[in-house]
A and B are shown apart, each in its own frame.
Chain A
């Protein structure tokens, strides 16, 4: 066994816990998860059945942690997992799974398949079977601080630009601020308006906040590629900055996996609870709305729908907040069939967007989103994840659909009461 395979198998053994064992014990090969996965429904290929993507992990479990599996292994009746097999499974685990967790909602015996894919990636990465794209993103995240290679000067330029445009001061490294805002590289590069929108809203609500120059990046390639050490290192940077600035809370921006990383995995990655709270921007805005600190005027008259980012809604628990907010500013808000925790993924989460090899299947799988949209024909889609937004736009373009994809935070900001930008965009 090669050193890398050894490291991978070892990681599998480390990762298998009681839930994983109960899940594998319970699978009856009913195949229902296949129809919950957009990579299967849009290709019809049985190999994309979610539970099948875990086969090597299952075998390691069976051979090591079940009495009859140990017995069979001792007698030489079972086949050990090989490096070639892991190589074969690489595309299944990374390219055709976004860890959206829809299969986990459907499995009749209750298997949390996404939970297991996350664990399986630990072994895959350790065995050297992670996709090039994600390896590069992880290396940039660790060395440069951003998977897209965005450096502080680039952010500073966007801040200056925003300050000029909005006339508002964007606070940086302000000690004692209530909240520290994280940003995803995608927002900095593609949707810088987001910074201005936040500034306006928080100013109106009277919330003090800051950006940390030492830890502004929200995304975490570590949890996508499946390397806990890298993920932990990236979380530590945020925690260190938040502690240094003595903030009460950290705002996770419009990004799905960033929220999963900092809100749910973070404390477990670094092995200790935080001294501050972590909120998704949707949660914060909804809290402000509830407290009456967020006021809007006017409503969008166009037909709007909301795309739930998997890691925010299904895997993150932020479902009702964006709807509360959208109802403030939308006249004609319509839900897609199968929404909220049962929403279909955009196809680009879980590191798929960083993996160019997966482009083809990702666009094929987008057909599922298209069908969902075709059912209600909205004028525009609103979401709360910039990764979703970019790849929704990409998919729409591929399928020749003309439909803007909006940021919910920005949409709220446009309707803020007492600002010059009232009135609806027709």
Chain B
């Protein structure tokens, strides 16, 4: 598929029927969390869409995000990568290696300057550029260089979006997010550790379909997927509202599928599509399998004071502080009380007998 072909033409060339294309559009609408009534519009847009060049940069990351994407079940990743987008550079997925790979990147930049989409996974170390380099180029430099010619940047995963685990206290590499370094390009954050696969492909498809970035929240996340909290869409929410909580992982409440809030669930403050889109082809999501939400799509989720501690809980031992405080207060109280008693005793001692002759003012 040449870059001048529209997607519709390309698919038809490959012998994909109109019916198949419509099915693809229906799945795409669902993936983009758009209502089914949008399917004709999507079909019309996709038909005319030209496949963009995509450069994928991986920095301090675990490849979990790529793994997640390649597990993306709809449409098939091959289809996505080779039919829908032109993935011109991706360490893990490209066949080329060494100088050839870097040359592919440079060519893609040159040929599509100002038009290509940049996808980043992983955080960028700033403490020492040597901590992470590709072909001798530091992550910071590579990001800045590639970002310059990008039409938009998608920060995939919590590391690229917020710094993620490398950024966690004490952050030895001085890891930062893409948005910490790039200020002059539209950035879409697709956080999660990893993000839900269909969310990654949904965001890419949205960009492809409409040629624009989707509506974003204050953390630059697409509202279509991150607009509601896990808590708001959680099927266990009725138990929360009724005050029925699992107190442990194997107690009666856990067996009955009660709310996991008391086990530290971050659902109430975590914005993601897990509760509806779910994982593994819509099979389940952490809460459904009995584990509290870790809040992985939120900034600094690793430093939230413990996965098994609710967000409103003290992070330090308050009980001991309380005991000491009461002790100290009691001691101070006794000391001050003694001063008061001394003052009162002094007043009693200073008491002059009041006689009937003292009652008139001036006596």
Contact = CB atoms under 8 A, between A and B. Distances in A.
Interface of A: 4, 7, 10-11, 13-14, 16, 64-65, 67, 70, 125-126, 128-130, 135, 138-139, 142-143, 225, 227-230
24 contacts: A7-B358, A10-B351, A11-B351, A13-B344, A14-B347, A14-B348, A64-B340, A64-B343, A65-B343, A67-B332, A67-B336, A70-B336, A70-B339, A125-B359, A128-B363, A130-B359, A135-B356, A138-B356, A142-B356, A225-B359, A229-B353, A229-B354, A230-B355, A230-B356
Contacts of B360: 128, 135
Given A128-B361, A227-B354, 17 more contacts: A7-B358, A10-B351, A11-B347, A11-B351, A11-B354, A13-B343, A13-B344, A16-B344, A65-B340, A65-B344, A67-B332, A128-B358, A128-B362, A130-B359, A138-B356, A230-B354, A230-B355
B322 interface: no
Contacts of B343: 13, 64-65
- Chain A to chain B: the 10 pairs with minimum beta-carbon distance, closest first: A13-B347, A128-B361, A135-B359, A139-B356, A14-B347, A227-B354, A65-B340, A10-B347, A142-B356, A14-B348
A2 B104 CA distance: 98
A16 B345 CA distance: 11
Contacts of A130: 359
A151 to B, nearest CB: 17
A138 B357 CA distance: 10
Contact of B354 (A65, A126, A129): A126
A143 B359 CA distance: 14
Interface string B89-132: 00000000000000000000000000000000000000000000
A70 B359 CA distance: 30
Interface in B304-363: 332, 336, 339-340, 343-344, 347-348, 350-356, 358-363
Is chain A's binding surface mostly helix, strand, loop or mixed?
helix
B358 A143 contact: no
A128 B354 CA distance: 10
Contacts of A14: 344, 347-348, 351
Contacts of A65: 340, 343-344
A253 B99 CA distance: 117
B338 to A, nearest CB: 12
A4 B362 contact: yes
Contacts of A10: 347, 350-351
Which of B340, B352, B354, B363 counts the most A-chain CB atoms under 10 A from its CB? B354
Interface of B: 332, 336, 339-340, 343-344, 347-348, 350-356, 358-363
A309 B94 CA distance: 102
A225 B344 CA distance: 22
A74 to B, nearest CB: 12
Contact of B358 (A13, A16, A70, A126): A126
A125 B357 CA distance: 11
Nearest to B353: A229
A7 B359 contact: no
Contacts of A229: 353-355
Contact of B361 (A11, A129, A228): A129
A126 B344 CA distance: 16
B59 to A, nearest CB: 55
Contacts of B359: 125, 128, 130, 135, 138-139, 225, 227
B47 to A, nearest CB: 72
A135 B336 CA distance: 38
A93 to B, nearest CB: 14
A146 to B, nearest CB: 14
Contacts of A67: 332, 336
Nearest to B363: A128
A138 B356 CA distance: 7
A125 B363 CA distance: 12
A135 B354 CA distance: 12
B352 A7 contact: yes
A4 B361 contact: yes
Contacts of A13: 343-344, 347
Contacts of A227: 354, 359
A227 B353 CA distance: 9
Contacts of B353: 229
A67 B344 CA distance: 15
Q: Which residue, of A13, A135, A143, has the highest number of chain B Cβ atoms within 10 A?
A: A13
Contacts of A126: 354, 358
Nearest to B355: A229
Contacts of A11: 347, 351, 354
A178 to B, nearest CB: 34
A50 B356 CA distance: 28
Contacts of A70: 336, 339
B343 to A, nearest CB: 6
A373 B353 CA distance: 44
Contacts of B352: 7
Nearest to A221: B356
A16 B352 CA distance: 17
Nearest to B332: A67
B58 to A, nearest CB: 60
A7 B344 contact: no
A125 B354 contact: yes
A11 B348 CA distance: 8
A130 B360 CA distance: 8
A318 to B, nearest CB: 31
A37 B362 CA distance: 33
A125 B361 CA distance: 9
Contacts of A228: 354
Contacts of B351: 10-11, 14
A173 B260 CA distance: 86
B165 to A, nearest CB: 47
A56 to B, nearest CB: 15
Nearest to A230: B356
Most B CB contacts (10 A, CB to CB) among A16, A65, A130 go to A65
Interface centre among A14, A70, A143, A228, by most B CB within 10 Å?
A14
Contacts of A16: 344
Contacts of B350: 10
Nearest to B339: A70
Contact of A143 (B336, B340, B347, B356): B356
Contacts of A7: 352, 354, 358
Nearest to B350: A10
A32 to B, nearest CB: 29
B182 to A, nearest CB: 53
A139 B356 CA distance: 6
Nearest to A11: B351
A14 B354 CA distance: 14
Contacts of A129: 361
A308 B355 CA distance: 33
A85 to B, nearest CB: 14
B356 to A, nearest CB: 4
